[in-house]
């Protein structure tokens, strides 16, 4: 079953606050969010053998952890636009829930 769309998404300070229809609230640190960017450029793509070729770590530029805005993609994801111009990451609601769960257990 796919995760339902959040009831609300807002930025408070350095966190993205997501309220889910079941009442759960996730506070996602913007820096962690950016570091978790799921796009092929940040995360790497698996080759034919399933091995991930992760690109060499690049230093994050100015504004990399600052959110300009975000867009809702279809009914399944959020796409953040970072101030350094990066916006390739499509964060599915499932993925956001997972990130939120990691924060809770940390």
Q: Which residues are at the interface with Zn ion (CB under 5 A)?
A: 37, 39, 42, 88-89
> Angle at Cα 57 formed by Cα 11 and Cα 66, nearest 5°?
15
Q: Are 79 and 87 in contact (CB under 8 A)?
A: yes
Nearer to Zn ion, 14 or 43 (CB): 43
Cβ at position 22, least distance to Zn ion in Å: 28
Distance CA 25, CA 91 (A): 17
HSE value, Cβ hemisphere, 13 Å, CA-based, for 106:
10
Nearer to Zn ion, 25 or 45 (CB): 45
CB of 101 to Zn ion, least distance (A): 21
CB of 66 to Zn ion, least distance (A): 15
Cβ proximity to Zn ion, 6 vs 80, nearer residue: 80
């Amino acid at each position: 079953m796919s995760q339902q769309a959040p009831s609300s998404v807002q930025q408070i300070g350095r966190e993205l606050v997501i309220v889910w229809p079941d009442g759960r609230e996730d506070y996602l640190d913007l820096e962690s969010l950016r570091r978790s960017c799921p796009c092929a450029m940040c995360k790497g793509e698996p080759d034919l053998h399933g091995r991930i070729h992760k690109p060499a770590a690049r230093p994050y530029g100015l504004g990399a952890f600052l959110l300009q805005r975000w867009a809702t993609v279809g009914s399944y994801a959020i796409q953040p636009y970072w101030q350094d111009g990066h916006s390739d990451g499509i964060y599915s609601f499932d993925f956001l829930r997972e990130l939120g769960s990691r924060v809770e257990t940390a």
